């Protein structure tokens, strides 16, 4: 596919939560958050390449060329220590970055909006895709028409509370199913945003 495609990746409970209750700076992801990632975490809590059909998605997720992530997301993980697998990270924000970002040359804060941030991320990604993280950022990208695909790993659990992925959308959006990978740990759903 020529050019870059932007793709949101999120793991989500069946009832639509991407973070459990109590999510905040002192408790990133909230209560039960790690349950959403059990499909590729080993018994010691390390991210590992799973076996079986999950491996196809895992391998695909490793081929991104740039990241577009919300400020809340990057601050909770201290910008991945300035290195998200060696790929550049773009953060749309109207506030200047904190002092730690000066030590992270791959992290760029973009103050002139989500459209500009996505354009910069796509340019940096080349012909690979832009990995999008963060619920608020995904909602803004959808509203601006700059989010191309959604990759949702739907986990067979009901959280009953927490942070939802699609709480605020400006209008109805139609999606096309691109692929479904169904495993006992998760159903991985890939959609294309129709415009």
DSSP 71-120: HHHHHHTGGGGG-BTTB-EEEE-SSPPPGGGGG-TTEEEE-S-HHHHHHH
Q: What is the per-residue pLDDT across 145-166, written as a single tens digit (0 to 9) for each?
A: 999 999 999 999 999 999 999 9
> Residues of the chain with pLDDT > 90: what percent?
61
**What pLDDT digit, counting tens, does each position of 54-71 carry?**
888 888 888 899 999 999
Residue with tokens 């793991």: 11
| Surface-to-core class of residue 124, CB atoms within 10 Å of its CB (0-12 exposed, 13-18 middle, 19+ buried) | buried
Query: Quick one: pLDDT at residue 77?
Result: 82
The more confident residue out of 76 and 160 is 160
**Coil, helix or strand for 40?**
helix
Question: What pLDDT does 144 receive?
Answer: 95
Q: Is 63 exposed, middle or buried (0-12, 13-18, 19+ CB in 10 A)?
A: exposed
What is the average pLDDT score of the chain? 91
pLDDT for the residue 1: 41
Closest by Cα among 35, 27, 22 to 158: 35
pLDDT digits (tens, 9 = 90+) for 24-46: 878 888 888 889 989 888 878 78
Cα 61 from Cα 128, distance rounded (Å): 11
């Amino acid at each position: 596919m020529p050019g870059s495609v932007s793709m949101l990746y999120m793991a989500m409970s069946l009832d639509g939560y991407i973070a459990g209750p109590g999510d905040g700076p002192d408790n990133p992801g909230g209560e039960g958050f790690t349950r959403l990632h059990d499909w590729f975490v080993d018994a010691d809590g390390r991210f590992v390449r799973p076996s079986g059909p999950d491996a196809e998605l895992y391998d695909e997720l490793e081929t991104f060329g740039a990241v577009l992530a919300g400020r809340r997301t990057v601050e909770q993980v201290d910008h991945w220590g300035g290195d998200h697998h060696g790929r550049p990270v773009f953060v749309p924000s109207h506030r200047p970055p904190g002092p730690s970002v000066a030590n992270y040359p791959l992290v760029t804060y973009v103050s002139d909006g989500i459209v500009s941030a996505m354009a910069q991320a796509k340019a940096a990604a080349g012909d690979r895709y832009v990995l999008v993280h963060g619920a608020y950022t995904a909602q803004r990208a959808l509203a601006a028409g700059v989010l191309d695909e959604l990759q949702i790993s739907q986990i067979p659990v009901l959280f009953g509370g927490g942070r939802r992925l699609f709480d605020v959308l400006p209008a109805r959006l139609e999606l096309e199913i691109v692929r479904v990978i169904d495993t006992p740990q998760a159903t991985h759903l890939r959609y294309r945003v129709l415009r």
